[in-house]
Amino acid sequence: MNKIDSHGMYKIYDKWPEIARNAYESNLGSIDFKNIDHIVFAGMGGSGAIGDLFASILSKTNIHVSVVKGYFLPKTVDKNTLIIAISVSGNTIETLTVLDSAKNLDCGIIGFSSGGKMEEFCRKYKINFKKIDLIHSPRTSFVNFSLSIINVLNSILLIEKNHISETINELIKLRNNICSQNLSDSNSALSLANFISGIPLIYYPYGIQSSAIRFKSSIQENAKKHVMIEDVVEASHNGIVAWEKPSIIQPILLRGYDDSKKTKERFDIIKEFFDKNNIKSKEITSVSGNILTKLITLTYLFDYSSIYRAILSEVDPTPVSSINFIKDRI
């Protein structure tokens, strides 16, 4: 693995449970924002995936959540809004633009980065800011930033301490299965990577969309492959028709352990359709437990699978020269 993964990305994932624990227990200091009923998560790429995670977690609360992946804030920002700007590098132009717009508004603001221009900006304008370590790259820093943000903002995010413990314990269990020390057929991340030879299409249910989005991004960045995602219910009204023609697309059914009865029924019907039409599919089911545990463990599984897919394709997962091409021109 070292020969292809020359930057040692897989070694970081072998340490994810410890990174998660250390992040949650770090001495960053909590901040309490009062009377918040709207949270805006602003971030791009690996930083934006963190916003997706929290949007899923908060989807069943009374807090309205917006995820901004671009330059513009929603018009609904007011004094009861908290803008959470996340840029792992600290230099993401879109997120810095959002911060610049937010500084003149009557709302709460906090920035999270490993330093860079965001730190300078927040210090200059006396905006709440927390510095979190970059670990290898923005996408591999996902669990470090996510658990650190929970540490700082749990008075708003309201994630129970036992949910954190459960998440870390499940990460440890999953590591035993998917880590680089187990390259046997029992490795579920490696099995998924071996399945993906064409273009994967991930069908996801309500509630765990963020995991599907993250899987798409990880395969694109690490394995340098195209990926598609579709809501399993919505796909029943349009996307399913595309399977009437032969395709190199490979369906992956991403199920939640406790999906609603209607959602389970829809997955079963689509699986029946694939079987009837001799379309090979693969099913992935989340662990049981709270939503944080489900999403973080799915991300762990999918990220590691994307690394294995890269190595199987003899592609170094770390370099992202195409992204750098664009960044150099904006």
For residue 154, give the CATH number of its domain. 3.40.50.10490
**167: pLDDT strictly greater than 90:** yes
Calpha distance 212→204 (Å, rounded): 6
pLDDT (0 to 100) of residue 330? 86
On whether both 114 and 214 belong to a single domain, the answer is no
**99: pLDDT strictly greater than 90:** yes
Calpha distance 219→215 (Å, rounded): 6
Is 67 strand, coil or helix? strand
pLDDT (0 to 100) of residue 5? 94
pLDDT (0 to 100) of residue 319? 92
On whether both 259 and 297 belong to a single domain, the answer is yes
pLDDT (0 to 100) of residue 1? 82
Grade residue 20 by pLDDT with cuts at 50, 70 and 90: very high
According to DSSP, the β-strands at 81-87 and 108-113 are parallel
Q: What would the pLDDT profile of 235-280 be if each residue is shown by its tens digit?
A: 999 999 999 999 999 999 999 999 999 999 999 999 999 999 999 9
On whether both 114 and 210 belong to a single domain, the answer is no
Within-domain flag for 214: yes
Within-domain flag for 261: yes
- Are 234 and 184 a contacting pair, CB within 8 Å? no
Q: Please count the structural domains in the chain.
A: 2
**60: pLDDT strictly greater than 90:** no
Q: What would the pLDDT profile of 122-137 be if each residue is shown by its tens digit?
A: 999 999 999 999 999 9
Find the domain containing 104 and state its range.
9-159
Query: What is the maximum span of the chain, computed from C-alpha positions, in angstroms?
Result: 62
- Are 119 and 113 a contacting pair, CB within 8 Å? yes
On whether both 29 and 113 belong to a single domain, the answer is yes
On whether both 14 and 155 belong to a single domain, the answer is yes
Within-domain flag for 328: no
**78: pLDDT strictly greater than 90:** yes
Grade residue 51 by pLDDT with cuts at 50, 70 and 90: very high
Please provide the average confidence, as pLDDT, over all residues in the chain: 96
Grade residue 214 by pLDDT with cuts at 50, 70 and 90: very high
On whether both 155 and 184 belong to a single domain, the answer is no
Which residue do the tokens 């700082």 mark?
152
**Full-prediction pTM beyond 0.75?**
yes
**169: pLDDT strictly greater than 90:** yes
> Helix, strand, coil % (nearest 5) of the chain?
50, 15, 35
pLDDT (0 to 100) of residue 327? 86
Grade residue 103 by pLDDT with cuts at 50, 70 and 90: very high
Containing 171, the helix (H) or strand (E) segment is helix 161-178
